[in-house]
Structure 1
Amino acid sequence: MTPALLIASAVIVITLFITVRYAVECYIRPFRRCRACHGKGRRPNRIGHGTRDCRRCRATGLRLRIGRHLWNHARALHRDATR
């Protein structure tokens, strides 16, 4: 094996590993913490010192992962196409 081929195959294997790991992560834990409220469900109010519900996660503190959202869309598309 040439060094260039070895590097290219290593990059492909690492990319494949990361992709499979993310797919498994989306399957096992479809939700992640909301980045806007850091998983608390509440955000500081702009006026005053109180807090308000996070609009991005609807006060749950969780958001659906992008990979899981794409998976759900693909499943719905397949389900609708095969009916």
Structure 2
Amino acid sequence: MPTTAATTLLTAATHSSYLGGASVDLTATAHSVAQAATVALIVTGVAAFYLLACAVWPFGKCRRCKGVGKFKSPFGNAFRHCGRCDGSGLRVRFGRKVISYYRRTHSAASNSTSKGDKR
């Protein structure tokens, strides 16, 4: 059973006068930090899964021709090749471009001649 002195101390500790009467709820702050950490973990996991999928399947369907590679003529059976994918129907995914950029940069850094001058 709390006494009035303990209740007064608890109220003074949570509602301090130097904040201009505004109360600070530390549990809400802790929950928002935990929620932000959870969202960051989920976003990191999704990005890692996407990069793994791009490493396994580097190509997607061309967005212009929808993966067919050609366009049909409105008259007859003539067709022309898609100009964006050159008739392949494929495009390189964004995640694969990121992986290739990282590999190229890492390879250039490890093969640098200025780093290992041994005369």
Q: What is the TM-score when the length of structure 2 is the normalising length? A: 0.59
Asked if 1:57 is matched to 2:85, the reply is yes
> Alpha carbon RMSD of aligned pairs, Å?
1.9
Looking at structure 2, the residues matched to 22 and 78 of structure 1 have their Cα atoms a distance apart, in angstroms, of 21
2:98 aligned to 70, 73, 80, which one? 70
With a CA cutoff of 8 Å and minimum separation of 6, indicate the structure with the bigger relative contact order: 1
- The structure where strand makes up a greater share of residues is 1
CA 1:41–1:82 in 2, change beyond 3 Å: closer, same or farther? same
Looking at structure 2, the residues matched to 9 and 75 of structure 1 have their Cα atoms a distance apart, in angstroms, of 29
Which range moved further: 8-17 or 48-57? 48-57
Query: How much has 1:27 moved relative to structure 2?
Result: 0.8
Q: What is the TM-score when the length of structure 1 is the normalising length? A: 0.80
Say if 2:54 and 2:96, in contact at 8 Å, map to a contact too.
yes
Structure 2 residue aligned with 1:3: 31
Query: How much has 1:3 moved relative to structure 2?
Result: 2.1
Identity of counterpart residues, as a percentage?
A: 31
Deviations 1:36-77, CA, capped at 9 Å, x for gaps: 1111111245xx434311111111111111111122122223
Say if 2:66 and 2:89, in contact at 8 Å, map to a contact too.
yes
Structure 2, unaligned runs of 5 or more: 1-26, 112-119
Which range moved further: 36-45 or 52-61? 36-45
- Higher Cα Rg: structure 1 or 2? 2
Letter of the structure 2 residue corresponding to residue 6 of structure 1: A
Q: How many residues align?
A: 81
Structure 1 residue aligned with 2:46: 18
